[in-house]
Amino acid sequence: MTISKKTNCIVAATVAAVLLAACAARPELIARSSTVPAGIDFSGDWQLLVTPGAKSRPPAPVEQGIRIPREGSPRNPGERQQRQQPRSSGSAINLFFETGESLKVTQTASGLFISFDRAIVEEYAFGEKRIVTVGPIEAQRVSGWENDTFVVETLDAEGSLLAESWRLEDEGTKLTRDVVVTRGDTQKWFLRQRFVRD
């Protein structure tokens, strides 16, 4: 076989591998345990601990979008353009993120109900694996236990992952929530919140 035939075979194999990878199904989230660890109960009213000088409400995890000019907007760089808001975020994972300064948590044998500032209630079933929706946006969600930590993972169609972990600390007097948004192997956003019993 000549060198050019070998090169053509290598190129063809590489193209085939790339095409197969592009056609692969989106990743599936792994279900978590439905068994509540002994002695773990998040139930109660919780108040966010705020560090002096820090913002009490964190920004939602948002990825920068592509700015699409409005029809009829000037294209000449010398002409004055108005500031435009992104019309596309690239990921809808921020739609599945909730937070608040006060939480009311109700834990049952099969799940958690978390009320954020008495405005929005999120319901999580232990060991669940399902599709969740916000309007027309769908995402995979799993929730359940990993040792003494309650884990919720939400994966959108673009591959952005919102991972939340909740755990008790200081003999059950503090509730810590870690939130991480990743896309592929890249961490895009991190938040740690600590709550004390109210």
Q: Could you state, in order of their start, the residue ranges of all structural domains in the chain?
A: 28-51+86-197
**Helix ranges (DSSP H) in the chain:** 3-23
Between CA 137 and CA 162 the distance in angstroms is: 14
Q: What is the DSSP letter of 56?
A: S
Residue 96 pLDDT greater than 50, yes or no: yes
Q: In this predicted model, what pLDDT tens digit does every residue of 48-86 receive, in sequence order?
A: 998 776 555 555 554 443 233 334 444 443 433 333 333
Instruction: Name the β-bridge partners of 138.
Output: 133
Beta-strand relationship, 186-197 and 111-116: unpaired
Q: In this predicted model, what pLDDT tens digit does every residue of 148-177 receive, in sequence order?
A: 999 999 999 989 999 999 999 999 999 999
pTM above 0.85, yes or no: no
CATH class in words for 28-51+86-197: mainly beta
DSSP codes, 103-133: EEEEE-SSEEEEEETTTEEEEEETTEEEEEE
